Structure 1
Amino acid sequence: MYLGKKISVVVPAYNEETQIARVIETAPAIVDHIIIINDRSKDRTAEVVTNHPQYDGQRVVLINHEVNQGVGGAIATGYKWSRDNGVDIAVVMAGDGQMNPDDMPALLDPIVEGRVDYTKGNRLVTGEAFKRIPKIRFFGNSFLSLFTKIASGYWHVADSQTGYTAINATALAIIDWDKMFKRYGQPNDLLVKLNVENMRVQDVPVEPVYNVGEVSGIKIHKVIFTIGSLLLRLFFWRLKEKYIIRNFHPLIFFYAFGMMSAALSVILFIRLIALWIAQGSVPEITFLSWLFTFSISFNAISFAMWFDYEENKHLNPPLAARDVSRPTK
């Protein structure tokens, strides 16, 4: 336990036979349950777990999926086990050993103290992220983090794709895990759903860990477009759920007017280019019309974002600082 709280670690594992033993062995003593979800691995992941000296079916629990569900589906299974077994805080750690167990107390503290409901690691603020994280993943992560801010309403979050997170029993009970996105967009999907439920979320600095034998299955060029389209759908879903169905907010009008003006601006810009090519010049009225609609759309959308920021800032305190005086047992 950690400061009177029962802790589980959810470990999604797919083909992690070389790394999963290290995850078990390095789990801190404060962890009550290590829930390993073998997501239909094609290697010896399950065998390595069951043959490990620490495997007992109580502290170290193995759940085997009969059908591969993706990392999001594996995490949902671990969350449901934690919810149904009286866990106070569930931490997610990858099965490839890319998360430093020493960072766990920093993730737990804001939740234990009752300040937030969900914490997530942020590898981008340590000063070592650009050096340690592969460049294409660093820039892809940064791109997705920007759009996750807009889609989720948590404007202080960054490093949206980190899987090192902690969630309390209240959030575990309120989220429908059977409807959670099952692939690599799970952290983004969860942030949006937490925001609709008015859960408090905070980033915590964690160490970026690479080159420990992990093998990434992420195809960046595919993930960017998959998660990008997911974020677009989630953005409109959150606006509908939070600002129309559950509690109406006038920012809806600003977003709607801004998007309609943006669409008209695009049409006018295409006409502007076509006339420029055909005639060698642009009629002043066309240029002024495009400039006017562009300005209107930019201002309307900016006001909508500002309203959204103000509406949610109490749910998303700034980046947490480490408390080195906090005991670890």
Structure 2
Amino acid sequence: MHDVSAEDMEKIRQAIVVAVVPAHNEERNIVHVIETMPDYVDHIVIVDDKSGDATAERVRAAQADHPRVVLIQHAENQGVGGAIASGYEWARDNNADVAVVMAGDGQMDPADLPRLLAPVVVDDVDYAKGNRFLFPGGVALIPKVRFFGNACLSFLTKVGSGYWHVSDTQCGYTAIGRNALKAIDWQKMYRRYGQPNDLLVSLNINNMSVRDVPVKPLYQVGEVSGIKIRRVIFTISSLLLRRFRERMFLKYIVMDFHPLVLFYMIGLLLAAVSAVLFGRIIWLWADEGSAPALSAIAFMFASTTSLQSFFFGMWMDMEANKSLRG
């Protein structure tokens, strides 16, 4: 990793930086988050997502000594994605140059913030996201169950979003620039734990550049995770499938045409044919003790061609999105 230069740091100080802090029942950590926020952050927008504890009261008390703090309270719980959307809307409407998301549980290291801001402020990258996998020794610091679930979702997000160069897609430590803040309809963003995945798809549809930045994993700092790995994997997978279809239609059919959609369609059609042939082979084998050689050959041809079509589609998608590598 490389530290941010003094020149780049000066540019960060000159930019209007907004920290969006989604908070739900974070009375134990929220004041610490406020007090450790770097001085170059101009506004600290804390979005209280209808907490059942004293989170809002702690924030109001802190405002007396920290005039940078802005409190937004939700009348109804909207989930972490909804809280981030409210913060992004505030940043957009108040002419922020860049908005960074920092968790209300203190699980994001402020020391990493300049490295996230520099790509957006200095290099004009539209979106910079933290990647704990890239941090030296970072994988060893992540609980194994979380790492496995994150790795699976990272692969699915590559396919769904078109950003094949990113990983650790569940890391919420991100920075987004002015153009992206204005381009995305935040009212339509996914409201729950699939928000980072959903946002990547929207960014790709809008041809926004994205860069991964190494950040240090922080655990056992008092946070209470609301993520149930077994549940969110299926939920986010379903979300990514739906958004993948939307991206293919909007980006490669409506806005422009690209033959990769044909390869994906052929792959899907032949996958269905393969499933039918495989079922026929199993049924005949159970009923008659053998299966026709022609059915077996047809199954092998259909399944192999289906995989090749999917791989060609993925390769073309990689090539089409190379320009979005921040």
Is the pair's TM-score, using the shorter chain for normalization, greater than 0.5? yes
Equivalent residue for 2:7? Answer: none
Root mean square deviation of aligned Cα: 1.3
- Larger deviation, residues 275-284 vs 110-119: 275-284
Structure 2 regions of 5+ residues with no counterpart?
1-10
Q: Is contact 1:16-1:95 (8 Å) kept?
A: yes
Displacement, 1:316?
Answer: 1.9
* TM-score between the two structures when normalised by the length of structure 2: 0.94
Equivalent residue for 1:229? Answer: 238
Q: Is contact 1:128-1:208 (8 Å) kept?
A: no
Equivalent residue for 1:106? Answer: 115
Equivalent residue for 1:178? Answer: 187
Equivalent residue for 1:23? Answer: 33
Q: Secondary structure at the match of 1:61?
A: strand
Alignment equivalent of 1:4, drawn from 14, 17, 21: 14
Equivalent residue for 2:44? Answer: 34
Equivalent residue for 1:51? Answer: 61
Q: Secondary structure at the match of 1:125?
A: coil
Alignment equivalent of 1:210, drawn from 201, 219, 224: 219
Give the Cα–Cα distance (whole angstroms) in 2 for the partners of residues 237 and 303 of structure 1: 19
Give the Cα–Cα distance (whole angstroms) in 2 for the partners of residues 199 and 130 of structure 1: 28
- Larger deviation, residues 43-52 vs 147-156: 43-52
Q: Is contact 1:160-1:188 (8 Å) kept?
A: yes
The answer on 1:92 being equivalent to 2:92 is no
Alignment of 1:1-329 (within 5 A): 2-52=12-62, 55-56=65-66, 58-317=67-326
Q: Is contact 1:3-1:112 (8 Å) kept?
A: no
Give the Cα–Cα distance (whole angstroms) in 1 for the partners of residues 136 and 285 of structure 2: 48
Give the Cα–Cα distance (whole angstroms) in 2 for the partners of residues 220 and 55 of structure 1: 39
Q: Secondary structure at the match of 2:219?
A: coil
Aligned residues: 316
Give the Cα–Cα distance (whole angstroms) in 2 for the partners of residues 270 and 147 of structure 1: 27
Displacement, 1:54?
Answer: 5.7
- Larger deviation, residues 209-218 vs 125-134: 125-134
Give the Cα–Cα distance (whole angstroms) in 1 for the partners of residues 122 and 63 of structure 2: 34
Amino acid at match of 2:146: R
Structure 1 regions of 5+ residues with no counterpart?
318-329
Q: Secondary structure at the match of 2:321?
A: helix
Q: Is contact 1:155-1:316 (8 Å) kept?
A: no
Amino acid at match of 2:134: V
Displacement, 1:40?
Answer: 0.1
* TM-score between the two structures when normalised by the length of structure 1: 0.93
Give the Cα–Cα distance (whole angstroms) in 1 for the partners of residues 301 and 187 of structure 2: 46
Give the Cα–Cα distance (whole angstroms) in 2 for the partners of residues 200 and 124 of structure 1: 20
Give the Cα–Cα distance (whole angstroms) in 2 for the partners of residues 54 and 107 of structure 1: 29
Displacement, 1:278?
Answer: 2.5
Displacement, 1:116?
Answer: 1.2
Give the Cα–Cα distance (whole angstroms) in 1 for the partners of residues 22 and 65 of structure 2: 16
